[in-house]
Structure 1
Amino acid sequence: MERRNWFWTVSALALAGGAVIGATSKAVAQPVQGLYVGLGGGGNLAQDQTVRLSPQQPSGKLRYGAGVVGLGSVGWGFGNGLRLEVEGNYRNDPLQHFRGTRFPTLAGGYQETYGGMVNALFDMDIGKSWLYPYFGVGAGYGWSHMAAHYAGTNYPYAERIGGTSDGSFMYQGIFGLSVPVPWVVGLSTTLEYRFTSLLGPQRFTGDGIGTEGAFGPKPYGVSRGNQDITTNYNHSLLLGVRYEFNPAPPPAPPVMPAIPAAPAPAEARTYLVFFDWDRSDLTGRAREIVAQAAQASTHIQTTRIEVNGYTDTSSIHGGARGAAYNQALSVRRAKSVQAELVRDGVPASAIDIHGFGETHPLVPTGPNAREPQNRRVEIILN
């Protein structure tokens, strides 16, 4: 099978796989949120490149061996699946053959490509907490550098392309898989396929030597001219890592039904209000729970209402400073619930508030653990 056909077969299979996953997955985004950085490296396959030589020199195709690719990126996630990033990339491919002449040739040297791009990507949630597909497109500007040579094995002809560069518009398509690392919050490994191209032609200067028929009427001569690369298509497979500096908290669990404190299960005496990580403001669902507690206090013979705030063991600070921060955060949460109860008609004098910080967790955890059920306020009707 021709190598170019093999390249296109791989590309089609990768794109088809992405389409199947996209069609069968839920349109729910993985919430990459805030600043992140990424690094990746792997192998690159450059398709056969169509080349035009001048003046009056043979034209044909350049065939490359397996090369290398590396890239780095800095981006921002918007928390709804969309990400924008700036990328720098580098590719290096060894030249193996010059094809299309009427005489056999030997070739050597390399082509390297480097540039900067802006990428737009979208992360998908397919219902697996350990696997997140994503896809995207990118555009930017790149440069191609040639240092190559080829010559006839039984014919007095040689061409040297000596260390020149040319730039043009660059674009790419991306399909990848992200696997979160469970023991490092914010860290994920990535596996990507990328199709990248530079718009042609890229023009390089070189020298050639040959007999009549290669350089015109001269029986033997040296000529200086151009080599124009009209196609530049690359297929890359990369393994990398991505680190998010402000990873989104896990989805909040459904609000637990009211836990009855009295023997009669219909008379709920304790209500739980849950909070997002490092937040003390009330969600819409939290306000509904507070309103239920306020209404119940008017139907039950209540002497006092306790509002107790708690946090989990994680914090934006570490050590003793983190514990003190969480203590203050638990008080702020209790005050938010108190203010909502007063708005719902409960007298402020009937409410006692307390902040317990990281103590008395609903779900026992180790240090620095984000546990949604421990980020709560308990409303207790006495």
Structure 2
Amino acid sequence: MTLRKALLAATVLALPVAAQAQPVSGLYIGAGGGLNIHQDSNNNGVRTKFDDIGAVGLASIGWGFGNGLRAELEGSYRTNDIRSITAPGVRGTSGYLRNYGAMVNVLYDFNLGLPVIPYLGVGAGYGWVDVDKANFTGPGGSRYRIEDTDGRFAYQGIAGAAFALPVPGLALTAEYRFYGTLEPSLNVDRTSTFGAPGGNYKPTNYNHSALIGVRYAFNAPVAPPPVVTAPPVAPAPTVARTYLVFFDWDRADLTDRARQIISEAAGAARSVQSTRIEVAGHADRSGTPQYNQRLSQRRADAVAAELVRQGVSRNEIMVTAFGESRPLVPTADGVREPQNRRVEIVLR
């Protein structure tokens, strides 16, 4: 597997769980693991080849300053199989090369308002290179082994992205890291009774790593509860306003007092923007029902005409006549009750 394929796989695995990410603020811890490619070494005619894929793991503790900047301490482990070490007269090599690192990293998160926060970082520290069971045969059949550890200055570059998970403070990370050290100097021991004495093995130490990890920030803000929108309050129903216009016995013409009441009703209709104006005519029981029906109609028409004269649109007025069927004051037939000789104006 190539490094390009490893990075693509790491990105694809991380995408489905992406959510809204936020820059880190305060204390956090992290851990990750993945694939490590140790770059083949060629130093002073000694070529070292490694298997394509090894393993890498790391853990970190750090502090986010809330403005995108982070600082952290990191411990890491990398291992790769040695496929071969070739030099004039050397053959039959195998073994393992391991890297242990203690690093101080500085990183910066780029908050782009996306569901993912990319970041870049650099690190410096100390790394130990350990070669184990590297056996090979030299000229004349002499046998040698490299089993030694050496520490050197270490450095690295980091490029990654964080994807928020549903748990507050928890994020999934996908990273590429380049990790290297200054050339270690490892002892070569002769294991046979003959041959040239051992010497030093100085491989270059460059590593390319693709990692998937998790990070937990302790001071992550808890998402606020969803805002519950209250249903709109229905407007209070408009209270109907009623005006009473009274008439003389057996008359449908308007008195001065009647015109004053109609004027007040017209003004109220304009100010409250009534949607309907009901004008209902009535009569007392002193005449026949047929006559009283016609009389109440004339009274209602007279009031409606005065409302129109006062500026009310005729289309807003609904005129009805009830004759003697709806008395305000119940009476016997033939009684001339003044309060029943009326027109009711109702504003709705």
TM range (shorter): 0.5 to 0.7
Partner residue in 2 for 1:161:
146
Query: Gaps (5+ residues) in structure 1?
Result: 18-28, 53-58, 212-219, 254-259, 264-382
Structure 2 counterpart SS, 1:86: strand
Counterpart pick for 2:156 among 159, 172, 186: 172
Instruction: Please state if 1:181 is matched with 2:181.
Output: no
Q: CA deviation at 1:177?
A: 1.3
Q: Is the 8 A contact 1:123 1:134 kept in 2?
A: yes
Distance 1:195 1:248 in 2: 33
Q: Give the Å deviation of 1:146.
A: 1.2
- In our comparison, the structure showing a higher alpha carbon Rg is 2
- Does 2:220 align with 1:247? yes
3-state SS of paired residue (1:246): coil
Match of 1:185, SS? coil
- Is 2:155 aligned against 1:207? no
Q: Decide whether the 8 Å contact of 1:33 with 1:248 is kept in 2.
A: no
Q: Secondary structure at the match of 1:39?
A: strand
Tell me whether 1:108 sits opposite 2:102 in the alignment. Answer: no
Q: How many angstroms apart in 2 are the aligned matches of 1:160 and 1:104?
A: 12
Q: Counterpart in 1 of 2:200?
A: 226
Q: Using the alignment, how far apart are the partners of 1:50 and 1:102 within structure 2?
A: 13
Given that 1:95 and 1:111 are in contact with CA atoms closer than 8 Å, whether structure 2 keeps it comes out as yes
Match of 2:79 in 1: 92
Q: CA deviation at 1:108?
A: 1.2
Q: Secondary structure at the match of 2:188?
A: strand
Maintained 8 Å contact 2:168/2:221 = no
Q: Give the number of aligned pairs.
A: 221
TM-score, with length taken from structure 1: 0.51
In the alignment, structure 1 residue 76 sits paired with structure 2 residue 76: no
Q: Residue 198 of structure 1 aligns to which amino acid in structure 2? A: T
Gap change, CA 1:49 and 1:148, over 3 Å in 2: farther
Whole-angstrom distance in 1 between the partners of 2:209 and 2:46: 24
Q: Which secondary structure state, in structure 2, belongs to the residue aligned with residue 84 of structure 1?
A: strand
1:32 maps to 2:24: yes
The structural deviation recorded for 1:137 is: 0.5
| Shift of residue 122, structure 1, vs aligned partner | 0.9
C-alpha distance after superposition, 1:278-305 (max 9, x if no partner): xxxxxxxxxxxxxxxxxxxxxxxxxxxx
Residue 145 of structure 1: CA displacement?
1.0
Cross-structure match for 1:289: none
Deviation of 1:210 (Å): 8.6
- TM-superposition CA deviations, 1:7-35 (whole Å, max 9, x none): 7xx59x99xx9xxxxxxxxxxx9431111
Q: Aligned-pair distance for 1:127?
A: 2.6
Distance 2:31 2:214 in 1: 6
Residue among 206, 209, 217 paired with 1:236: 209
Distance 1:120 1:194, change over 3 A: same
Q: Hey, what's the Cα distance between the residues in 1 that align with 2:75 and 2:99?
A: 11
TM-superposition CA deviations, 1:83-109 (whole Å, max 9, x none)? 11110111111111113x345722211
Q: What is the distance in 1 between the residues matched to 2:146 and 2:106?
A: 36
Aligned residues: CA RMSD: 3.6
Helix, strand or coil for the counterpart of 1:221? coil
Q: Which of these residues, 101, 106, 116, is aligned with residue 120 of structure 1?
A: 106
Distance 1:158 1:81 in 2: 55
What's the CA shift string for 1:142-161, capped at 9, x where partnerless?
11111132435996243211
- Cα distance in 2 for partners of 1:160, 1:208 equals 6
CA change 1:153–1:115 in 2 (3 A) is: closer
Asked if 1:151 is matched to 2:124, the reply is no
CA distance in 2, matches of 1:97, 1:225: 18
Q: How far apart, CA to CA, are the structure 2 residues paired with 1:225 and 1:249?
A: 60
Aligned residue identity for 1:243: Y
Tell me the amino acid that sits aligned with residue 40 of structure 1: G
Which residue does 1:67 correspond to in 2?
54
Tell me if 1:137 matches 2:122: yes
Aligned-partner Cα distance in 2 for 1:239–1:191:
5
Do 2:174 and 2:211's aligned partners in 1 also have CA atoms closer than 8 Å?
yes
Aligned residue type for 1:48:
D
Separation in structure 2 between the aligned mates of residue 87 and residue 209 of structure 1, nearest angstrom? 38
Q: What's the offset of the Cα at 1:209?
A: 6.8
Q: Distance in 2 between matches of 1:132 and 1:204?
A: 41
| Percent identical | 45
Offset at residue 195 of structure 1 (A): 0.1
**TM-score, normalisation: structure 2:** 0.55
